[in-house]
Chain A
């Protein structure tokens, strides 16, 4: 259940960023700021990986700041539906 809440949170956050990607570090910091549970890095990496596998997120490599995660078309639609609900 909490996994689903985190995924929804990540989708909504990325949607609020208006197309701007986020680094894994920023995603983790934001999740930790919004949830009471003390997540390990590994747990949050698993969530990000699961979201990539489900085609909600896509990672791109940048020379300046490493891997950045952005919403895919599927992720954007899903995020918009969450906001409407």
Chain B
């Protein structure tokens, strides 16, 4: 970052260029420690070689290095968070959760983590945010269940109506049969009704039977 990219190099007389690995690590530790830049400057490794050999680095340079370190740490944090979110997202996908909602939950939790880090506190880790979104999912699921219930209720009502119609048809047929039978019975009971050939034939047959004559002799 300070050099402007991996292919470019620091000037030969740059403060960092002449520090050993141990001194670079010491510088990193000093700049990561709490305190003002002026306080940190006093603990920094001194310049090695060149016209300013043995001098402490200037504040503007330390500020630039500190800034670059913070940005590098911020980029590493993004990379780490991305890897964590991808793993969590994959796991949620395997569990069959809605990806849109999962991403939203992960985003809110990530933001909450950043905010807590900025405030240097560790609270109930974004559980509030997660529970809000999970409640949204639960409400949506409940809505779906209610819809299904309503559909089932409508289907049951329809079946009930069909059953009722079938019963009514059955009653109607039975009533029609009863009416026909009643009409027939009423007709048979009517003594004044004119005698039919079948009646006459039945009387003759009955007399033949009483008289002991063979059927159809007369």
On A, residues with C-beta under 8 Å from B are: 9, 12-13, 16-18, 20, 23, 25-26, 29-30, 32-36, 62, 64-65, 68, 84-85
Contacts and interface: CB of A to CB of B under 8 A. Distances in A.
Contacts of B74: 9, 13, 30, 33-34
Contacts of B70: 33-36
A18 B100 contact: no
A65 B118 contact: no
Given A16-B82, A64-B133, A85-B4, A9 B71 contact: yes
A36 B75 contact: no
A23 B111 contact: yes
Which residue, of B77, B78, B111, B136, has the highest number of chain A Cβ atoms within 10 A?
B78
B103 to A, nearest CB: 8
Interface residues of B, number: 29
A29 B81 CA distance: 14
B111 A36 contact: no
A17 B80 CA distance: 10
Contacts of B100: 64
Nearest to B81: A17
B61 interface: no
Interface in B33-85: 63, 66-67, 70-71, 73-75, 77-79, 82, 85
B108 to A, nearest CB: 6
A25 B142 CA distance: 31
A25 B67 CA distance: 21
Which DSSP category, helix, strand, loop or mixed, fits chain B's interface? Answer: helix
Given A26-B114, A35-B70, A36-B63, A65 B107 contact: yes
A32 B118 contact: yes
A53 B73 CA distance: 29
A26 B117 CA distance: 12
Contacts of A29: 111, 114-115, 118
Contacts of A20: 82, 85, 103
B82 A18 contact: yes
A20 B63 CA distance: 31
22 contacts: A12-B75, A13-B78, A16-B75, A16-B82, A17-B78, A17-B82, A23-B107, A25-B111, A25-B115, A26-B107, A26-B114, A29-B111, A30-B74, A32-B118, A33-B77, A33-B117, A34-B73, A36-B70, A64-B101, A64-B133, A64-B136, A84-B5
B78 A30 contact: yes
B67 A26 contact: no
